[in-house]
Chain A
Amino acid sequence: MSEIELVSGPDAPGGELMAGVASVLGAPAAERRRSLRQLPQGLALRLYTAMARLRAFDERAVILQRQGTIGTYPPYYGEEAVQAASVLALDDRDWLFPTYRQNAVATLRGCPPESPLLLWRGNPAGWYDVHRYRTAPICVPVATNYPHAVGAAWGSRLRGESTVALAFGGDGSTSPGDFHEACNLAAVVVAPVIFLVTNNQWAISTPVQQQTKVTRLADKATAYGIPGVRVDSFDVFACYEAVAAAAARGRAGLGPTLIEAVGYRLGPHGTADEPSLYRDPERARLWAGMEPLGRAGAAMVDAGLTTLEALEEIRESAVAEMLLAGDQLEAVPVPELEEIADRVHLSTPWTLSPDHLREPSYPRAG
């Protein structure tokens, strides 16, 4: 296969897949500059900082995994725009329902980065405060978090709150029944929920073309009678607009929105994965230029919002923060069995008390 064919392929950066997606950074230079200059004061830098911190966390986590300090880890390199935009476009009272891929989003709401890192070390100290950060425990079973978000959104509405819930997922997560059931249920009960599906074209090694015959995942929204919008997943400003609009819609009592953030999985599925075994590395290189942090930074400098030096400072500060967080992990004591045995139930009935279950199981008569 020649390079020309690759570049012109439908799923290449400039190809059919990305055609028509909402994009701020993809606009002609003059328009792009105007858009960036019209952003609320400081927003671009806050988005950039959030992405830089997510990036530094992710890179540190991969190093810690290679060093054996944490276990198998799912990198999200390239998804920083989607995650940062989601958190910043929502209010801090809104609920986030992350999967493993968005394992560090709570750090954008003040959660110390040690927490999610300790999660990957299997340490109870990694249980971040879900209520304080309004961030649900990460869901590893694919698509299971969608109905949770619908229920939480509905519950908020029932209590007269104006919060919305946002559930993350990937292209592969649109196949299990939970996705369909959640979208359908949310539409029927008019729940203020956002389904944010990042179409990075790969579910481990399964390409999206083998996941669904729909080219645009957002089209699935039609079946539920809800809006489906498409946005450039590498464009933090476009993602921000899309999430903000969906949140406003939810708050106005208009129900759910499906957002398809279109892009490409720039990294492996997990630290135990090697994508070159099943996909063309050349294709990945084509997409690498879309990497959202550098792309946003270049546009911000171009629009005169900041300087290269200022951005470098932000990145360096984030790297230092995550280095420090990583250094804390080994000092946290490893858990004892009792710590987890006592947590199986919230109210432990006497018949499940540790004494009752002690081995040998029961004192024998005589």
Chain B
Amino acid sequence: MAELTYREAVRGALREEMLRDQRVILMGESITGYGGSYAVTKGLVEEFGPKRVMETPIAEAGIVGFAVGAAMGGLRPVAELMTVNFALLALDQIVNSAAKFHYMFGGQWSVPLVVRTVSGFGQLGPTHSQTFEGWFASVPGLKVVMPATPADAKGLLLAAIRDPDPVIFIEHSLLYSTKGQVPDDDGLEVPIGRAAVVREGDDITLVSYSRMLLQALHAAEVLEREDGVSCEVIDLRTLRPLDYPTMVRSVGRTHRLVVCGEDWRTGGFGASLLSELQDRSFDDLDAPIARVAMRDIPLPYSRRLEQVLIPGSQQIVDAVRRMS
């Protein structure tokens, strides 16, 4: 084990897989000289050269479309979209090309493509602080991964690059500098589609992913200390395909569930998850499923207002207390 930051873990996965597999190429805006807007790809162009670490024009649809063609032609492209907000420009290529070719041509032509992008906020304003994982997770043909820890970031990215289908890999800007133990084993994958029970508990299940996992863990500590409530915390890690059985098993013991997300309440990822869970676990539930989500307001630039709006551990604690 080694202690790495989330950023180092992502970079490590890219580097290891590029060394292992000549077909892996990176492409994106400012990923060479600048090392990417979050410095994830720093140093890689020096090591692998400009053909495998490609600087591209500002053209998200072009980048993803290019990557789809390169993937269909036998490469393993990892396209970086600077933030998930810019992925909107590439939605057609992601949804109508990447997610469809395998299905529409009988599996002859798969698209082993990874789109790496970043969610997050921090005084970035309404157009640069959005979270769209729910949109991607609603599309058959895509896999959507959102790691919360350095170990998962590395293991899931390795799995994503090796996966034969298109994977949307969403990092979180506020996690890049967090640290964690990462296994030394070269090439150790974390399987796509499996959630992790990060903290065991008896009274209530908190389901979360990405940055909200840290908030849920903090809320669990507060609730244990101040209320004597024992929370089980699940990190989904993959949003599509979603590991319902792990959640159903947990709710079967705790009988209470809070779904925690950072995206907007209306149509957010948690809404679909909640609907499915109330169907699968209705008889196990002792209370309506609660949800922590962002209010339906675009995040403002003001630091104070941003802090008021962004869901965190306090909202989770409040939600649990309302249920008890």
Is B75's CB under 8 angstroms from A147's CB?
Answer: no
A152 to B66, CA, bound (A): 7
**Is the CB of A334 closer than 8 A to any CB of chain B?**
no
B301 to chain A, nearest CB (A): 28
One digit per residue, 1 when the CB lies within 8 angstroms of any chain A CB and 0 when it does not, for chain B 50-84 equals: 01101011010111111111111111010000000
Asked if A178 and B110 make an inter-chain contact with CB atoms under 8 angstroms apart, the answer reads: no
Contact between chains at A130 and B105 (CB < 8 Å) = yes
Given contacts A344-B140, A349-B192, contact A148 B102 (CB under 8 A): no
How many A-B pairs fall under 8 Å by CB? 166
User: Could you say which residues of chain A place their CB within 8 Å of the CB of B73?
Assistant: 95, 151-152, 155-156
Contact B56 A185 (CB under 8 A): yes
Q: Which A residue sits closest to B194, measured CB to CB?
A: A351
Number of interface residues of A (CB under 8 A): 52
B164:A147 contact, CB within 8 angstroms: no
**Contact (Cβ within 8 A) B61 A351:** no
Partner of A147, one of B66, B193, B194, B280: B66
Hey, which chain B residues are within 8 Å of A364, CB to CB? Answer: 280-284
Contact B74 A185 (CB under 8 A): no
Once the chains bind, are A347 and B241 in contact (CB under 8 Å)? no
Q: How far is the CA of A146 from the CA of B61 in the complex (A)?
A: 11
Q: Does A278 contact B (CB under 8 A)?
A: no
Residues of B with C-beta under 8 A to A146: 65
B: number of interface residues (CB 8 Å): 61
B252 to A, closest residue via Cβ: A365
- A31: interface (CB < 8 Å): no
Q: Which of A127, A185, A350 contacts B66 (CB 8 A)?
A: A185
B252 — which chain A residues lie within 8 A by C-beta? 365
Q: How far is the CA of A178 from the CA of B92 in the complex (A)?
A: 10
CB-CB under 8 A from A137, the residues of chain B are 101, 104-105, 109
A sample of 4 more A-B contacts (CB under 8 A), given A97-B69, A127-B105, is: A155-B69, A346-B102, A350-B193, A356-B245
Interface residues in chain B, defined as those with a beta carbon under 8 Å from any beta carbon in chain A: 25, 51-52, 54, 56-57, 59, 61-75, 77, 89, 92-93, 96-97, 101-110, 140-141, 143, 163-165, 192-194, 241-245, 248, 252, 276, 279-284
- By a beta-carbon cutoff of 8 Å, the part of chain A in contact with chain B is 95, 97, 124, 127, 129-131, 136-137, 139, 141, 144, 146-156, 158-159, 165, 177-178, 180-182, 184-185, 188-189, 340, 343-347, 349-352, 356, 360-362, 364-366
